[in-house]
Amino acid sequence: MRVVYVDNNATTMVAPEVFEAMKPFLQGQYGNPSSMHAFGGRIHKNIDSARESVADLLGANDPQEIIFTSCGTESDNTAIMSTLRSYPDKKHIITTKVEHPAVLNLCKYLETAGYRITYLSVDNEGMIDLNELKSSIDEDTALISIMYANNETGVIFPIEEIAEIARARKLILHTDGVQAVGKIPFKLTELPVDLLSISGHKLHAPKGVGALYVRKGTRFTPFLIGGHQEGGRRGGTENIASIVGLGVACRLAKKTIKEERTRIKNLRDRLENTLLQHIPRTRLNGNKKNRLPNTSNIGFEFIEGEAILLMLDEKGIAASSGSACTSGSLSPSHVLRAMGIPFTFVQGSIRFSLSRYNTAGDVDYIVKRLPPIIKRLRGISPYRAS
């Protein structure tokens, strides 16, 4: 059966070029880069090359500002915990109600350890109020941690303005860039973010590798304690194959960002507009203009999202109802609830997230098969309008 994959905010296919670049390090070139012998030690240049590629994609000033990690969650945890350990007298963190669980659940844990957390609200389009951010800062604030773009709606936050606010108050700013990196341009030499997290499997690298950008001069205390790897900033033998893969994925992403903002955006818009026009009682969740070019979150009133996904899956269409890291929960999306989306739409909201491997034929396939599914489910829904 044909598979149409539109769940790329959950994970992406490993690019063929990435896979080919990784293979030598899973077979013949398996040495430990920390070894004294040439068989292992010569591999270190591949780590350096990958670090340069990540830095180049981010527009960073120095490749040494990049620390390799195992995933976006580790990068987020490292950024937050490092800052708290570097400023032990400060016990206040500012974040938002719509963060990824990697940040939200850590903040909930920190509340039990005596930290005070401010969760900024969002409006019905998923945007924060910068005045609320300004008024939340006090002398006890250690860190502002706000995602660059939301994983469920694709809404892009005003990180430049947030960075200006943080800098004016001499505060550390961390941004979870997992969904944004590789989809929109970055130039960290001009954007005064102190810490930025990325995850390889969101940009066609393998699962199990990520990175953390740490601006030169930012106080940093290692989160994962061990050996001397990553300049003593992150212990553990390097995952060479995946690091090499991430480097190649970053080089590919830099070449295809224009495509993300044109061809992929046009596909997304055609999918979205066709569904909104041809299926009654639907709505777009999020800010229509200020969002990632690949993401569309559409609410279908009076239907359960799980039922939609199951019937789409029968047709070979892979989408999602929100974050893959919360899909095991029966609770409605915390992002959509924070936005104040009517409950009749929240339960039936589906996220479509495209990649450069999607085609116009994929969009045609979805828009032909989804309307009959919605009609059928509404016909049997106990919540349908009279």
More confident position, 35 or 201: 201
Is the residue at 386 inside a domain?
Answer: no
Looking up residue 358, the CATH number of its domain turns out to be 3.90.1150.10
Pairing of strands 66-69, 92-96: unpaired
- Choosing from 253, 274, 293, the residue where a domain stops is 253
Q: Taking 80 as the threshold, does the pLDDT of residue 42 lie above it?
A: yes
Q: Taking 70 as the threshold, does the pLDDT of residue 195 lie above it?
A: yes
**Residue 200 sits in which domain range?**
16-253
Measured from the Cβ of residue 232, the count of other Cβ atoms closer than 10 Å reads 11
Q: What is the pTM assigned to this prediction?
A: 0.95
User: Which pLDDT tens digit goes with each residue over 74-120?
Assistant: 999 999 999 999 999 999 999 999 999 999 999 999 999 999 999 99
Is the residue at 110 inside a domain?
Answer: yes
Distance CA 318, CA 312 (A): 7
Do 233 and 123 sit in the same domain of this protein? yes
Distance CA 121, CA 98 (A): 8
Rounded (5°) CA angle 127-131-137:
110
Confidence of residue 325 (pLDDT cuts 50, 70, 90): low
Is the residue at 62 inside a domain?
Answer: yes
- Choosing from 253, 281, 306, the residue where a domain stops is 253
Do 263 and 226 sit in the same domain of this protein? no
What pLDDT was estimated at residue 201?
A: 98
The answer to whether the beta carbons of residues 95 and 105 sit under 8 Å apart is no
Which of 152-156, 211-215, 309-313, 331-335 is the least confident region? 331-335
Do 82 and 158 sit in the same domain of this protein? yes
Do 228 and 262 sit in the same domain of this protein? no
Is the residue at 293 inside a domain?
Answer: yes
Q: Taking 50 as the threshold, does the pLDDT of residue 386 lie above it?
A: no
Catalytic residues: 325
Measured from the Cβ of residue 288, the count of other Cβ atoms closer than 10 Å reads 11
Domain count, the chain: 2
Do 376 and 293 sit in the same domain of this protein? yes
User: Which pLDDT tens digit goes with each residue over 234-273?
Assistant: 999 999 999 999 999 999 999 999 888 899 999 999 999 9
User: Which pLDDT tens digit goes with each residue over 346-379?
Assistant: 999 999 999 999 999 999 999 999 999 999 999 9
- Choosing from 253, 273, 290, the residue where a domain stops is 253
Looking up residue 72, the CATH number of its domain turns out to be 3.40.640.10
Do 336 and 228 sit in the same domain of this protein? no
For residue 154, what are its two tokens?
A: 């694709």
Do 189 and 292 sit in the same domain of this protein? no
